[in-house]
């Protein structure tokens, strides 16, 4: 419940999105603000694949919140760190047994990985309306899948299987390496062909969230990332033939390095990204909305006293704060302007500051 998220200790909610992601859809939907330019840009057409933003800009919150919009496809979220690590181990073994790894090579592996995740979704959501022949092919391919699997474990299983094939001298050529994987008497090539017909009427969104310490691992993940960018560009160019969409979060602080790693930035990115940024008004609306929800749950009578007319959320926030504050230099300043000046216009900063402001002990007069 929201009362357990917006607490006396954190009236504006937690500063990170991990806690919010565990909330029920209805509660999360109340916290997510769709009245901003970012949301408007994102869903005027086909969703952008890359979400670019600074740490604290709300990339993860945007991903989860966007999933609740009307008509949004279901999301399958991959554990980014786990997939990166497993793929890096696979490519190390590939280099040792088969020679250099180029972006095209690792890109093919990424595309196959996403196809496996989409197949898992297809098997998990089979209905009587699905074409029977394609349903049987994909179902047979996933015969023997352990119960309780999720998108990340499906990806890990595929990469582990590929590791075994990489060191098998009887498997020759890149096409055979991937397409020749056989389960339940069905090859991956056959299952992949059936997938488009099976998911054509119910697309899915495969999501890879931001990796907070990506900057630390960047050198070790160059081949992994170059392949990812190649795969995403390829999928974007053949979107009508793919039964799924992708959304990948990346930190804007590393944008120059990301371009360097990409084998062909024009093809790999091609303007297919959305940069997350906030205006001051948007941040204040977000904060005011959360404060109103907190007061509704914990202090409804006080809320009526502060805001008897049911004003806008920003007006409520201003009413709850002193009009001015005196800074360290002894200069009196508008309180809201003072707060915003210390946020770098990032939601994480503003939430953290407001939590401290509203929970700080009042000094004795």
| β 244-251/50-53 pair status | parallel
Indicate whether 308 pLDDT > 80: no
b/e per residue, 170-191, with b = 16+ CB within 10 A?
ebeeeeebbbebeeeebbbebb
More confident residue, 40 or 349: 349
Bridge partners (DSSP) listed for residue 51: 249, 274
More confident residue, 210 or 82: 82
Confidence of residue 2 (pLDDT cuts 50, 70, 90): confident
- pLDDT for res 179: 93
- pLDDT for res 74: 80
> In terms of Cα–Cα distance, which of 196, 190, 114 is closest to 158?
114
Confidence of residue 21 (pLDDT cuts 50, 70, 90): low
The CA distance from 330 to 285, in Å, is 29
More confident residue, 42 or 142: 142
| Global pTM value | 0.85
Indicate whether 328 pLDDT > 60: yes
Q: Are 124 and 149 in contact (CB under 8 A)?
A: no
Confidence of residue 63 (pLDDT cuts 50, 70, 90): confident
Bridge partners (DSSP) listed for residue 247: 207
Token pair for residue 91? 């490519």
- pLDDT for res 3: 78
Residue count of the chain, please give it: 365
* Most confident region among 80-89, 330-339, 344-353 by mean pLDDT: 80-89
DSSP SS3 for 272: coil
> In terms of Cα–Cα distance, which of 66, 6, 72, 56 is closest to 36?
66
Indicate whether 119 pLDDT > 60: yes
Q: Are 325 and 333 in contact (CB under 8 A)?
A: yes
Q: What is the mean pLDDT of the chain?
A: 85
Residue keyed to tokens 């017909």: 197
Burial class, 5, CB count within 10 angstroms (exposed 0-12 / middle 13-18 / buried 19+)? buried
Region 206-232: mean pLDDT is 91
Q: What is the pLDDT of residues 164-188, one digit of tens each?
A: 999 998 998 878 999 999 998 999 9
Region 239-253: mean pLDDT is 83
DSSP SS3 for 329: coil
Helices (H), the chain: 18-21, 25-31, 37-42, 59-66, 80-98, 103-124, 132-141, 151-166, 174-179, 188-199, 214-217, 222-237, 255-261, 265-268, 280-298, 300-306, 313-320, 335-341, 347-359
- pLDDT for res 28: 66
Q: Please report, rounded to a whole number, the percentage of residues in the chain having pLDDT higher than 70.
A: 87
The CA distance from 224 to 80, in Å, is 11
The CA distance from 3 to 297, in Å, is 6
Indicate whether 344 pLDDT > 50: yes
- Of 21-35, 104-118, 167-181, 250-264, the range with the lowest mean pLDDT is 21-35
Instruction: Kindly calculate the radius of gyration of the chain based on its CA atoms and give it in whole angstroms.
Output: 24
Q: What is the pLDDT of residues 297-307, one digit of tens each?
A: 899 998 888 88
CA 304 remoteness from chain centre: 37
- pLDDT for res 365: 47
Region 145-162: mean pLDDT is 84
More confident residue, 46 or 154: 154
- Residue 363 CB coordination number (10 Å): 5
Q: Are 303 and 6 in contact (CB under 8 A)?
A: no
Region 347-357: mean pLDDT is 92
């Amino acid at each position: 419940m929201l009362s357990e998220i917006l607490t006396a200790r954190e009236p504006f909610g937690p500063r990170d999105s991990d806690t919010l992601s565990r909330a029920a859809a209805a509660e999360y939907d109340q916290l997510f603000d769709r009245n901003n330019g970012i949301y408007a840009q994102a869903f005027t057409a086909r969703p952008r694949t890359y979400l670019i933003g600074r740490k604290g800009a709300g990339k993860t919150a945007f991903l989860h919140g966007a999933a609740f919009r009307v008509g949004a496809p279901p999301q399958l979220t991959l554990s980014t760190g786990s997939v990166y690590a497993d793929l890096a181990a696979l490519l190390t073994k590939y280099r040792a047994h088969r020679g250099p790894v180029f972006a095209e090579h690792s890109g093919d592996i990424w595309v196959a990985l996403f196809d496996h995740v989409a197949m898992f979704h297809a098997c998990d959501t089979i209905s009587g309306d699905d074409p029977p022949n394609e349903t049987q092919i994909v179902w047979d391919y996933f015969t023997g899948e352990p119960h309780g699997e999720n998108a990340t474990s499906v990806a890990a299983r595929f990469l582990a299987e590929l590791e075994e094939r990489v060191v098998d001298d009887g498997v020759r050529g890149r096409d055979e390496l991937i397409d020749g994987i056989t389960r339940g008497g069905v090859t991956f090539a056959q299952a992949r062909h059936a997938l488009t017909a099976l998911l054509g009427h119910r697309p899915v969104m495969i999501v890879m969230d931001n990796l907070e310490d990506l900057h630390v691992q960047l050198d070790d993940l160059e081949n992994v990332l170059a392949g990812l960018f190649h795969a995403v560009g390829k999928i974007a160019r053949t979107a009508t033939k793919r039964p799924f969409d992708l959304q990948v979060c990346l930190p804007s602080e590393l944008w120059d390095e990301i371009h360097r790693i990409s084998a062909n930035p024009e093809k790999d990115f091609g303007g297919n990204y959305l940069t997350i940024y906030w205006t001051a008004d948007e941040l204040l609306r977000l904060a005011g909305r959360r404060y109103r929800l907190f007061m509704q749950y914990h202090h409804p009578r006080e809320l009526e006293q502060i805001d008897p007319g049911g004003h806008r959320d920003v007006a409520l926030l201003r009413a709850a704060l002193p009009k001015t504050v005196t800074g360290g230099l002894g200069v009196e300043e508008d309180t809201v302007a003072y707060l915003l000046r210390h946020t770098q216009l990032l939601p994480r900063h503003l939430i953290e500051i407001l939590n401290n402001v509203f929970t700080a002990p009042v000094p004795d007069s």
